[in-house]
A and B are shown apart, each in its own frame.
Chain A
Amino acid sequence: MSVGDYIRDSQIWKSIFRHPAPYDRRNRVVVMLTNFFLHLHPVSIKQHGIALSYTWCMGGITFFLFLVETITGVLLMFYYRPTLEWAFNDILALRDVTTLGIMREIHRWGAHAMVITVWLHMYRVFLTGSYKPPREFNWVVGVILLKLTLLLSFTGYLLPWDQLAIWAITVGSNMARATPVLGHEGPGFQFLNLGGYDLITNASDARFLLLGSRFVGEETLNRFYILHCVAIPLASAGLIAIHFWRVRKDGGISQPL
């Protein structure tokens, strides 16, 4: 009896994988049904639906990059402190002295790649008409996920707390100042006033809500840190689950009707 057989015969192995190795047709079906990670997939799939020149694999890569970002991001969170005193120095140390500081490079390049792959996924879904009935609503979920991907990248942009970071966020968030009605330089902010006093000022408008301050400062760093590490990833994870579930329920990958 070989070592491999010995392991596969053990009680431990059998308690985890409840079927023999997927070498024959029956077990290849069973593995898809009994494995938690694989049960996202159907047991069998139309041949054209797995052709790379049809799918471009961009949705799958986006999801994989999301996982990469989560793992490298959690590792970075062990090291990085989101305060004015430490944020920049921690990133500097990650670059120069920290073991496995390359996690930051992977995290940043992975984020850029994710933005590109999510666009290409949308591009492919549009070009194959895959948003047409019955998949209309999943396209809507996808648009929200696209938006969340951009917001994830945007909030993460601030965390290194260098010149690139704060000025990119300053430029980006200055727009919120001009939000109609809710921004203190937006059209119609005068409508919200009480007895002649403006309710919308630079300390109470949409930009203040985003930054937690009248300019990009420590409150902003904290706010963006929470958004980047907790709030948006949770929202994305939930929507990704719905997105995948609906792909299955709407009949799998799109195909000619």
Chain B
Amino acid sequence: MLKDITLGQFFPGRSFLHRIDPRTKIIAALLYIVAVFLCDSIMSFIILLAATLALIALSGVPVKIIVKGLKPLIFILAFTTIYNVFFYKGDHILVHWKFITIYLEGVVFALIMGLRIICLLTGSSVLMTYTTSPIMLTDGIERLLSPLNKIKAPVHEFAMMMSIALRFIPTLVEETDKIMCAQKARGADFSSGGLIKRARALIPVLVPLFISAFRRASDLAVAMECRCYRGGSGRTRMTKTHFGARDVILFTATVILGTVIVLSNIYFPIWMI
């Protein structure tokens, strides 16, 4: 059912990572991504893998769900791996058959690239989307970007738009479902014909959907005014987030991770790529 759509990948819980300030998590995720790209040796990859597994353990998100979240990545993973196996040039020939030459370095590089992509996605989503509700995430972005208010950037408005968009996704999905049923009842056909014909069949769905979305927007604007909304100035928040010991631990841990990876590249340059 379309109605059962989940917003993002948020996995509710009260783990160590769940209780960390969204701002710390966003910064930690950025540091983690940098660390992933700094990995250049076998040793550093072992450290990265250990760190990623530790993050998963700290998040309390079941491994099954994380593996499921990687599914949309299969195509990109397969493409990068195969491309690197066949086209990477090295010194040690592994297989040579007609015009295909596979080098040892190519296989190693392909594996490392695959691993890098998996770590990149798992680590950053465990740090952010799995353990932070969409509203906390937009809140975190708003607070992180708040210095931009000084140059008159509409940071609050931007965050408000994001959270309202998130709020209305399920409502509009449900509405699309309803309109499609109504148009089917009038004889519309969405499931036959070529690509162009199908795309055309969607016009009678999109037009009423847009009209209704604008009406909703206007209703919502009036309702927000009635609830004394006047932009970000003078506004307080119910959930006061403040940095605690957990935040310091996570932040320090990611900085250490990056440092250790760089050092391991220098002192254990085994299989440098």
Q: Do A and B come from one complex?
A: no
Taking Cβ atoms with an 8 Å cutoff, the residues of A that contact B are: none
